[in-house]
């Protein structure tokens, strides 16, 4: 009689062990980690930093009074500031009167009021007009200068006498408007010694033109 192979009775043997409560030893299971999805392995990127310029109130104020730049060719054509020593010392009023032809007399600070109903008065620069500086602690008698070039809405050139109180004549002196409203009520004047605009701010009454025709050119 031939015996069946042991493997043929394996199922019956396992059932018998289960009936008796004796389970066959199980093979240990080795846990294998499932590969993570691309979304799980992706490292979140930090949001890009946005740099915002710090714009102080002082910077805003300076920006408002910054002068428009001129083409280099236009700048090259302007005469350079210079100083002339006359045969005798001149006051600003006598020099401005001779250059402009305005028959206005007295201290410079009175010229604006005295020109009323006699000549055209403008709030902004006019070529060949007289620029009237108001009286102040630094300019007790005021000051007058003749406009020779209008460079930009913020800058002009003037000829003037006795600005340094030496009776000299200053030619092509740059004057810059520093008023917040760009209305030429406050200006700074070029300093010949330092070759830059002076730190003092001067009040301006306005500009006196010889005729109404010249005033119309300012509109």
In the chain, the domains with their CATH numbers are 85-216 (3.90.1720.10)
- Residue 108 scores a pLDDT above 50: yes
What is the distance between the alpha carbons of residues 89 and 86, in angstroms, rounded to a whole number? 6
- Residue 13 scores a pLDDT above 70: no
Q: What are the DSSP E strand ranges found in the chain?
A: 82-84, 120-122, 130-133, 143-152, 155-161, 169-177, 186-191, 196-197, 202-209
User: In which band, very low, low, confident or very high, does the pLDDT at 213 lie, cut at 50, 70 and 90?
Assistant: very low
What is the distance between the alpha carbons of residues 123 and 142, in angstroms, rounded to a whole number? 17
Block residue for tokens 């108001």 = 134
- Residue 65 scores a pLDDT above 90: no
In sign, the C-alpha dihedral spanning 71, 74, 80, 81 is: negative
User: In which band, very low, low, confident or very high, does the pLDDT at 171 lie, cut at 50, 70 and 90?
Assistant: very high
Q: Is 162 left (phi over 0), alpha (psi -120 to 50) or beta?
A: left
Specify the pLDDT at position 189: 98
User: In which band, very low, low, confident or very high, does the pLDDT at 48 lie, cut at 50, 70 and 90?
Assistant: low
Helices and strands counted in the chain (H then E): 7, 9
Specify the pLDDT at position 62: 36
Kindly report, residue by residue over 185-197, the tens digit of the pLDDT.
999 999 998 999 9
What is the distance between the alpha carbons of residues 50 and 7, in angstroms, rounded to a whole number? 75
């Amino acid at each position: 009689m031939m015996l069946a192979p042991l493997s043929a009775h394996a199922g019956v043997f396992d059932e018998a062990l289960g009936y008796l409560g004796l389970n066959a030893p199980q093979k240990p299971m080795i846990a294998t980690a499932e590969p993570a999805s691309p979304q799980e392995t992706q490292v979140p990127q930090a949001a890009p930093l946005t740099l915002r310029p710090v714009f102080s109130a002082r910077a805003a104020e300076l920006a408002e009074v910054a002068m428009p730049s001129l083409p280099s060719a236009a700048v090259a054509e302007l005469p350079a500031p210079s100083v002339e020593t006359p045969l005798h010392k001149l006051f600003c009023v006598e020099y401005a009167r001779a250059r402009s032809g305005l028959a206005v007399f007295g201290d410079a600070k009175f010229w604006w009021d005295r020109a009323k109903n006699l000549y055209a008065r403008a709030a902004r620069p006019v070529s060949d007009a007289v620029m009237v500086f108001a009286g102040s602690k630094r300019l007790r008698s005021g000051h007058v200068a003749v406009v020779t070039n209008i460079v930009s809405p913020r800058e002009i050139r003037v000829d003037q006498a006795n600005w340094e109180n030496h009776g000299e004549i200053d030619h092509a002196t740059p004057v810059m408007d520093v008023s917040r409203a760009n209305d030429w009520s406050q200006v700074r004047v070029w300093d010949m010694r330092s070759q830059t605009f002076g730190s003092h701010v001067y009040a301006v009454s306005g500009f006196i033109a010889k005729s109404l025709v010249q005033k119309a050119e300012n509109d």
